[in-house]
Amino acid sequence: MSEDQSTAGSDGGLDVLLRTEQTFPPPPEFAAQANASDPGIYERADADPEAWWGSWAEKLEWIEPFDEILDWSDPPFAKWFTGGKLNVSANCLDRHVAAGDGDRVAYYWEGEDGTRKEITYAWLLEQTQKAANGLKSLGIGKGDVVGVYMPMVPEAAVAMLACTRIGAIHNVVFGGFSAGSVVERMEVSGAKALITADATLRRGKPTPMKEAIDPAIADLETLEHVIVVDRAGSNPPMTEGRDHRWEELVGGAGGDCPPEPMDSEDPLFILYTSGSTAKPKGIQHTTAGYLTGVTATHKLVFDLKDDDVYWCAADIGWITGHSYIVYGPLANGATSVMYEGAPNYPAEDRWWEIAERYGATIFYTAPTAIRACMKWGVEHVEKHDLSKLRLLGSVGEPINPRAWLWYHENVGGGRCPIVDTWWQTETGAIMITPLPGLTTTKPGSATVPFPGIEAKILDESGAEIAEGGGHLALTRPWPSMARTLYQEPERFVETYWKRFGPDTYQVGDAARIDEDGYFWIVGRTDDVINVSGHRLSTMEVESALVSHPKVAEAAVIGVPDEDTGQAIFAFVTPSGGTVGDDELEAELRDHVAEKIGKLARPKQMAFADDLPKTRSGKIMRRLLRDIAAGEELGDVSTLRDPEVVESLQKQLAV
């Protein structure tokens, strides 16, 4: 196992106060009505995974049927449902409207400022076609990359769907990322257009988006068009010829845009995520397999019924938002809640107020948010009637049992099953999860692979470990698997498919399997830090730090954090003559926010004239982690300069 595994994950530091042996079988009344209620589902899917996935693909609407379910003749490059043609927006919108469900609410949207909109399937379809025509009028078509940098407004979903309508590949960048991150992602993907908003509302204040990225995008060679949604009426400067107002472009476009027939394997979108290097990876998902994966998992894991009000409180800018706010729910014709702002604005009960107002029945969020709610106090939850809730979900990081039990008791009233769903940007859809009507849950465990998915724990040599800890691997292809890294197929193979061979997907997580075959995710084995369920690479933060003129060298590690799961700790060597003080620390935190985004700001920083290195000059991160944790260090005599360690320890002891 790589040296980075030892401190990965949040579980170690968090649950000193509570571990539990308690297990939670599905409540009988839930099990009786569940979409998946026959335990034979696992065996059947296992006996013939292709037939299983094929049965889900057949539930989609095809323009031309597929002739082969899986072509795995050239691993790791899988092809699913070859020969078929379909369109994602038609599956998400047209077929529901055609079935008479045009008036059905797709999203109860609530702005942070209290604005409320009921977005119907008919409205979404109309807007999607107009936006698609608007894009077409700018010369954007099949295969073009369109950036989306938006707040959580309905237009963000429309923008994504409009791309799928015409076969353009969307590349969404989380609205909390900085201008620098947007530019990098637009540049490496060769984006032709970027859809953004004038501003986003956060804690009552409009924070500029368009104006913030303007200087940085000016030099992008491929970027021909910028389309700006008016969210806050802030009238940002517009560049003649390049910039377009969404309201004019879309408002003035025709309302009829037939869906482009797409091959099953045509790219649907790319989404950049952090890996072991400073350069983000463009995870590429394709049309039919992705849609099949998110539809099946959304239906079974969330036990979706016609009268459910489903709420995934993630952001559209992450894979969770793509799969479980937009594509899974819309393909299943769900009614969802979409909320724009902060969970504690204007008060700590904002989420619960919304849940009560719309009668949310299913709620899906991240452990970090649950821990924040715990901290704010149960009284905020208790103010509201959450009796309609029947199922809760968790995603993004290991959930510590204490948070699990709090969520279960206080949000779920002790009656709602919790689905702790493990998956990744790369997997596209949920991979390890309870099925709420079938699986007995154990707080802290994501439980077992979804039907048709095969997961194993492998040792260093790639041999399976029947019980115990090691590398998590997925050992069979699945429809929503990433097909490649955008324009970097070699890096795709190298990163995920080399270590254990071309048909075993190396997840990059360490996990343990227990005597019941339940999986317990420990954390990352690579240089990825998981802050509040958001992926950041140590290298990305390090390169942001060293791009500051007052920094000579930097090393970044993840440390356990009670609130955010992991937090960023940066060790910095200031450049000659610069003093490492509070002022520099503040300056560097701002600098990282500007380069990557606020979420990447180091929580702690330590300055030293040098960093602990081996004689060959390699920074010893393990030692840095021990120093950060205040642990005994043992033998440091192999270091090039053992005194460095002492100076760091002294600093941290203050």
Minimum distance, C-beta of residue 376 to ligand PRX, in the bound complex (Å): 23
Cβ 509 to ligand PRX, closest distance in Å?
Answer: 5
Residue 248 C-alpha from the chain's centroid: 32
Distances (CA, A) of 382 to 114, 349, 374, 379, 653: 21, 9, 12, 5, 41
Q: Which is nearer to ligand PRX, 18 or 633 (CB)?
A: 18
Site string for ligand PRX, 424-443 (x = CB under 6 A): xx------------------
Can the peptide bond before residue 65 be classed as cis, meaning omega within 30 degrees of 0?
no
**Helices and strands (H, E) in the chain, number of each type:** 23, 30
Q: Which of residues 342-401 bind ligand PRX (CB under 6 A)?
A: 395-398
**Residue/partner pairs of 61-70 with CB below 8 Å, 24 or more apart:** 61/86, 61/90, 61/91, 61/94, 61/95, 62/86, 63/87, 63/90, 63/259, 63/261, 64/261, 66/264, 66/288, 70/477
Angle at 532 between CA 526 and CA 537, to 5 degrees: 30
Q: How far is the CB of 523 from ligand PRX (least distance, A)?
A: 6
Q: Is the peptide bond before 76 cis (omega within 30 degrees of 0)?
A: yes
* DSSP symbol at 639: B
Interface with ligand PRX (CB under 6 A), residue from 24, 269, 351, 423? 423
Q: From the CB of 33, what's the least distance to ligand PRX, in Å?
A: 25
Q: Is 273 in the site for ligand PRX (CB under 6 A)?
A: yes
- Kindly state whether residue 509 participates in binding ligand PRX, applying the rule CB under 6 A: yes
Q: Which of 78, 140, 217, 319 binds ligand PRX (CB under 6 A)?
A: 319
> How near is the Cβ of 308 to ligand PRX at its closest, in Å?
21
Count of CA atoms in the C-beta half-sphere (13 A) of 154: 24
Q: What is the DSSP string of 267-290?
A: EEEEEEE--SSSSPEEEEEEHHHH
Which amino acid, residue 543?
S
Q: How far is the CB of 294 from ligand PRX (least distance, A)?
A: 12
Query: Judged by CB, which is closer to ligand PRX: 89, or 433?
Result: 433
Question: What angle do the packed helices 582-595 and 538-546 form, to 10 degrees?
Answer: 120
Instruction: Establish if 524 lies at the interface with ligand PRX (CB under 6 A).
Output: yes
Find the part of the chain contacting ligand PRX (CB under 6 A) among 82-90, 420-428, 458-466, 474-482: 420-428
Q: What is the dihedral of CA 14, 16, 18, 24, to 10 degrees?
A: 60
Residue 420 engages ligand PRX in binding (rule: CB under 6 A)? yes
User: Which is it for strands 309-312 and 199-202: parallel, antiparallel or unpaired?
Assistant: unpaired
| From candidates 227, 330, 446, 639, binder to ligand PRX by CB under 6 A | 446
Q: Is 445 in the site for ligand PRX (CB under 6 A)?
A: no
Stretch that binds ligand PRX, among 76-84, 517-525, 540-548, 621-629 (CB under 6 A): 517-525
Using the contact rule CB under 6 A, the part of the chain among 140-148, 227-235, 417-425, 478-486 near ligand PRX is 417-425
Give the total of residues touching ligand PRX (CB under 6 A). 21
Residue 320 lies near ligand PRX (rule: CB under 6 A)? yes
- Subset of 188-227 contacting ligand PRX (CB under 6 A): none
Q: Least distance to ligand PRX from the beta carbon of 631, Å?
A: 23
User: Is residue 484 close enough to count as binding ligand PRX by CB under 6 A?
Assistant: no
* Spatial separation of the C-alpha atoms in residues 477 and 287, rounded to whole Å: 16
What is the C-alpha to C-alpha distance for residues 284 and 76, in angstroms, rounded to an integer? 13
Q: Alpha-carbon distance 217 to 395, whole Å?
A: 33
The residues binding ligand PRX (CB under 6 A) are 273, 319-320, 395-398, 420-425, 446, 508-509, 521, 523-524, 530, 535
